[in-house]
Amino acid sequence: MAAGSDPIVGASRDGRSTRWDPHRRERRQAIITAAIAAIEEYGPEVLTARIAEQAGVPRTHVYRHFDGKRALDLAVSAHIGNEIGEHIRGGLAVGGSARDIIGAAIGQHLRWVEEHPNLYRFVAQHAYAVRAKDSRSAVDAKAAFAAELSVLVERYLRALGVDAAAAERVIVGVVGLVDATAAWWLEGGGTPVRAVLTAELTGRVWLLIDSVGRDLGFELDPDRPLPDLP
């Protein structure tokens, strides 16, 4: 065995290193949480110094856990994307008619945008960088909405005996419409009120889904309960 390759010494060194992993993960998550709070308060262009202050650590400590500002932005975007996905998933889980489900999902999405305008702006600015790194990540409102909607629409199409591949054509149109409208609404000062915009968007999204459905050879009553999914 070559000098310096004692497996016991190596295992000991590895053990000393890995026992700090939980602490590193906790500190990393604390910085992400602090970054989100700072973005909410100061806006999407918040400086790292503000984030460090929010986290209660020196600025240099932030970059012990993230390899530069871009890495921090990607981590924050991914965390926010997961949060958005959870909110949308709650709306999609209501069951009922197509109109009920569409309205609940859109309502949850708009509620999150209304409650977290600076986070919405932040992920819109930084999502392109995450997609370049990993196109599968749900890192902004559009990606999160698409991911959750894709799963549900595909399951319903299969339940209705329709080719699930057709779901992509539905989702592209729905996601683009909802996200563009949400961005316009946010920058317009939240007018009309969320309930009115939710109802308007629900009607428009239903027209899009109905049109695609007719092209595929099936028709749905928007107010009739959909079949239970397994």
Q: Alpha helix (H) ranges present in 19-166?
A: 21-42, 48-55, 59-65, 69-92, 98-115, 117-133, 141-159
Q: What is the helix (H) or strand (E) element at residue 138, kind and residue range?
A: none
CATH class of 80-230: mainly alpha
Handedness of CA 113, 75, 35, 91 (dihedral sign): positive
Residue 116 pLDDT:
95
Handedness of CA 180, 186, 48, 85 (dihedral sign): negative
Q: For residue 149, give both structure tokens.
A: 């909607």
Query: What pLDDT tens digit does each residue of the chain (230 aa) get?
Result: 444 444 444 444 455 556 657 878 899 999 999 999 999 999 999 999 999 999 999 999 999 999 999 899 989 998 998 888 888 888 788 889 999 999 998 999 899 999 999 999 998 887 654 444 444 444 567 777 778 888 888 788 777 777 777 677 778 888 889 989 999 999 998 899 999 999 999 999 999 888 888 887 888 899 999 887 76
Residue 230 pLDDT:
66
Measure the N-to-C terminal CA separation of the chain; round to a whole number of Å. Answer: 58
Rounded to the nearest angstrom, the gap between the alpha carbon of residue 71 and the centroid of all alpha carbons in its chain is 17
Alpha-carbon gap, residue 221 to 195, rounded angstroms:
23
Q: What is the DSSP string of 167-201?
A: HHHHHHHHHHHHHHHHHHHHHTTS-S-HHHHHHHH
Q: What is the helix (H) or strand (E) element at residue 205, kind and residue range?
A: helix 194-215
Q: What is the 3-state secondary structure (H, E, C) of 35-66?
A: HHHHHHHHCCCCCHHHHHHHHCCCHHHHHHHC
List of residues 6+ apart from 139 with CB closer than 8 A: 74, 77, 78, 80, 81, 123, 126, 127, 130, 131
97 phi and psi angles, rounded to 5 deg? -80, 170
Residue carrying structure tokens 């020196």: 58
Whole-model pTM: value is 0.80
User: Hey, what CATH topology would domain 11-66 get?
Assistant: Arc Repressor Mutant, subunit A (1.10.10)
Question: Using an 8 Å Cβ cutoff, are 53 and 37 in contact?
Answer: no
Residue 132 pLDDT:
44
> What is the domain partition of the chain in residue ranges?
11-66, 80-230
Alpha-carbon gap, residue 84 to 114, rounded angstroms:
12
Question: Using an 8 Å Cβ cutoff, are 139 and 77 in contact?
Answer: yes
